[in-house]
DNA sequence: CATCGGATGGCACACAGTGGCATGGTGGCA
DNA sequence: TGCCACCATGCCACTGTGTGCCATCCGATG
């Protein structure tokens, strides 16, 4: 866990068993996403997901704490990629610039897999509209993304922000992605170009970073 | 629901049965909060909560969809009060001023009940630290607060903001309260004065409204 | 080949929720 | 005052979630 070099770059540092476990987890997640999007989470039993993934019910619960949790890796994938890019950014860049740059990289020109992932996310968000339990997973995923973002933002701020300010910045950045994805899920826009998650998220991020002051000062300028 | 005048000010518009129902709901919520804070939600069964509240298990589930939900009215109470004040504000005031004013009113000088409510919230947030299911309720409460805040913000913005901007403003405002409460729950500060929820929330709100731009421009001003 | 460790599967069980039906108190009406 | 409809509550049965425990299987190591 600690002193394992485990290879050089981003190659799978996995033994056969490790790779199988990762594959099984993805297998389950995809099975769950498919069933959830098709018939809704409520009408889907954990048993059913396990069967589709080719594992026993007991095994399912060794990979995920709850039925709905099964899709959380898919829902978190986007934010995870974004955060990984941020971790690689240089501290001197300036926070909002770094945030925007990473956002552009992670969402702007998605490959085939990323595009499929986005469409899957849309399907899940739409299923979440009628299912409180699935919505709860979406909330949790975003919240955990925010928490994981805190140390990254702290590093980028390089000591120029207080702890609370760091948390606020992480929250605002997470809001940008969340609201962009939710807004996009309500539309039929594609994964690139006008109305895409990428452009929406950038808009949201700039609004929040540019300051709500710009949004609110209109009425107060005179009075 | 619609054309019921139901008295003048904020008096209980309730028939005897209605009042009993409200009382029962509070009874259950308080019983749940007490047990959750004392022994953790996981070690508390729904049956136990029902018994403490003096109702049958079946009745418990007529009031709340899930065990953890039982405390959600208590967790939402603060944000509810704040939103109610915002609904009464005049649209001409300017958004951020209205937000701050309502925040000061709802949190600044709490009466006995409000103080107890805040301490109860702290107990629940601390219990939530070890309990994923209870954390999920906290997430849900905040998310729903945000959603309910959207039309209020839209009214206050008076058509000067686009739909997405309204959502972002509602999200930022909710973040301020949430992070203020979470920060406070980690401390031993009282309910008033230095480090109180009120002052923390105002700080957070001003940070977010003043714009993350102020937080991030340091490093970019030169370059 | 022998053996160990971890992943998996099957079984049993406590608890979370839900539908259906019986009951008792509340409130309306004559 | 007495009758009656209604609704909240309680009880029972049942499905599904999630977990502990033990047997088994398979890959890793010598």
Q: What is the 3-state secondary structure (H, E, C) of B190-204?
A: CCCCCCCHHHHHHHH
Residue A183 within a domain? yes
- 3-state percent breakdown (helix, strand, coil) of chain A, nearest 5: 75, 0, 25
Residue A11 within a domain? no
The CATH number of residue B92's host domain is 1.10.357.10
Q: A91 and A195 share a domain?
A: yes
Q: How far apart are CA B84 and CA B69, in angstroms?
A: 22
> Average pLDDT of A94-114?
83
What is the length of chain A? 223
The pLDDT of residue B193 is 83
Q: A56 and A162 share a domain?
A: no
8 Å CB contact of A220 and B139: no
Please say if the pLDDT value at position A130 is more than 90.
Answer: no
**Minimal CA separation from A31 to chain B, in Å:** 24
From A26, A46, A66, the end of a domain falls on A66
pLDDT in tens, B151-174: 999 999 988 899 999 999 999 999
Question: Of B176, B80, B101, B35, whose CA–CA distance to A171 is shortest?
Answer: B176
Q: What end-to-end distance do the CA atoms of chain B give, in Å?
A: 59
From A50, A66, A82, the end of a domain falls on A66
Supply the mean pLDDT for chain B: 84
CB A86 within 8 A of CB A154: no
Q: What is the pTM of this model?
A: 0.88
8 Å CB contact of A211 and B209: yes
A19 touches strand C (CB under 7 A): no
Please say if the pLDDT value at position A215 is more than 90.
Answer: no
- CA of B20: nucleotide with nearest C1': D8
Q: How far apart are CA B19 and CA B1, in angstroms?
A: 15
CB A100 within 8 A of CB A108: no
Q: B49 and B121 share a domain?
A: no
Interface test with A, best of B156, B211, B214, B220 (most A CBs within 10 A): B211
pLDDT in tens, A16-71: 788 899 999 999 999 999 999 999 999 999 999 999 999 999 999 999 999 999 99
Q: B189 and B166 share a domain?
A: yes
The pLDDT of residue B201 is 93
Q: How far apart are CA B193 and CA B129, in angstroms?
A: 25
| Closest residue to B168, CB basis, from A95, A167, A207 | A207
Q: Is the dihedral of CA A36, A41, A42, A47 positive or negative?
A: positive
Q: A138 and A155 share a domain?
A: yes
Residue B5 within a domain? no
The pLDDT of residue B165 is 94
B58 touches strand C (CB under 7 A): yes
Q: B100 and B207 share a domain?
A: yes
B66 touches strand D (CB under 7 A): no
Q: B55 and B96 share a domain?
A: no
Question: Of B133, B122, B117, whose CA–CA distance to B69 is shortest?
Answer: B133
Q: What count of other Cβ atoms lies within 10 Å of the Cβ of residue B178?
A: 23
The CATH number of residue B29's host domain is 1.10.10.60
The pLDDT of residue A203 is 92
Q: Is the dihedral of CA A16, A69, A170, A209 positive or negative?
A: positive
Please say if the pLDDT value at position B14 is more than 70.
Answer: no
CB B2 within 8 A of CB B13: no
> Average pLDDT of B167-191?
94
Question: Which positions 100-119 on chain B have a beta carbon less than 7 angstroms from any atom of strand D?
Answer: none
Residue B222 within a domain? no
The pLDDT of residue A108 is 66
Cα dist from A69 to A46, A119, A125, A139, whole Å: 11, 19, 14, 12
Q: B62 and B74 share a domain?
A: no
Q: B136 and B52 share a domain?
A: no
Residue B217 within a domain? no
DSSP state of B10: S
**Minimal CA separation from A6 to chain B, in Å:** 32
Residue A4 within a domain? no
Residues of A in contact with B219 (CB under 8 A): 92-95, 158, 160
Q: How far apart are CA B182 and CA A39, in angstroms?
A: 37
Q: How far apart are CA A208 and CA A175, in angstroms?
A: 9
Torsion, Cα of A66, A69, A71, A72 (10° steps): -170
From B48, B67, B86, the end of a domain falls on B67
For tokens 């060794």, name the residue: A62
Confidence of residue B9 (pLDDT cuts 50, 70, 90): very low
Residue A223 within a domain? no
8 Å CB contact of B216 and A209: yes
Q: How far apart are CA B48 and CA B31, in angstroms?
A: 9
Residue B103 CB contacts under 8 Å (≥ 6 apart), including other chains:
B82, B176, B177, B198, B201, B202, B205
8 Å CB contact of A97 and B220: yes
The pLDDT of residue A112 is 85
Q: B50 and B88 share a domain?
A: no
Q: A79 and A183 share a domain?
A: yes
Q: Based on the structure, what is the number of domains in chain A? A: 2
Residue A217 within a domain? no
Question: Of A171, A202, A169, A172, whose CA–CA distance to A184 is shortest?
Answer: A202
> B175 — alpha (psi -120 to 50), left (phi > 0) or beta?
alpha
**Minimal CA separation from A12 to chain B, in Å:** 30
CB B129 within 8 A of CB B90: no
Please say if the pLDDT value at position A218 is more than 50.
Answer: no
- CA of B18: nucleotide with nearest C1': D8
Residues of the domain holding A47:
16-66
Please say if the pLDDT value at position B212 is more than 50.
Answer: yes
pLDDT in tens, A183-209: 999 999 888 888 889 899 999 999 998
Q: B53 and B108 share a domain?
A: no
């Amino acid at each position: 866990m600690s002193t394992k070099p485990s290879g050089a770059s981003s190659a799978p540092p996995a033994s056969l068993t490790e790779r199988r476990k990762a594959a099984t987890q993805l297998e389950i997640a995809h099975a769950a996403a498919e069933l959830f999007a098709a018939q809704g989470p409520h009408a889907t039993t954990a048993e059913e997901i396990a069967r589709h993934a080719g594992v026993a019910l007991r095994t399912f619960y060794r990979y995920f704490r709850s039925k709905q949790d099964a899709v959380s890796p898919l829902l978190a994938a986007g934010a995870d990629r974004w955060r990984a890019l941020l971790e690689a950014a240089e501290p001197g860049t300036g926070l909002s610039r770094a945030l925007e740059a990473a956002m552009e990289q992670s969402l702007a020109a998605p490959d085939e897999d990323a595009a499929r992932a986005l469409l899957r996310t849309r399907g899940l968000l739409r299923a979440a509209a009628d299912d409180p339990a699935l919505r709860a997973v979406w909330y949790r995923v975003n919240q955990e993304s925010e928490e994981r973002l805190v140390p990254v933002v702290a590093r980028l701020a390089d000591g120029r922000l207080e702890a609370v300010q760091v948390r606020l910045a992480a929250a605002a950045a997470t809001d940008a992605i969340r609201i962009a994805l939710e807004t996009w899920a309500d539309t039929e826009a594609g994964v690139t170009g006008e109305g895409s998650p990428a452009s929406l998220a950038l808009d949201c991020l700039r609004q929040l970073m540019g300051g709500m002051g710009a949004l609110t000062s209109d009425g107060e300028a005179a009075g």
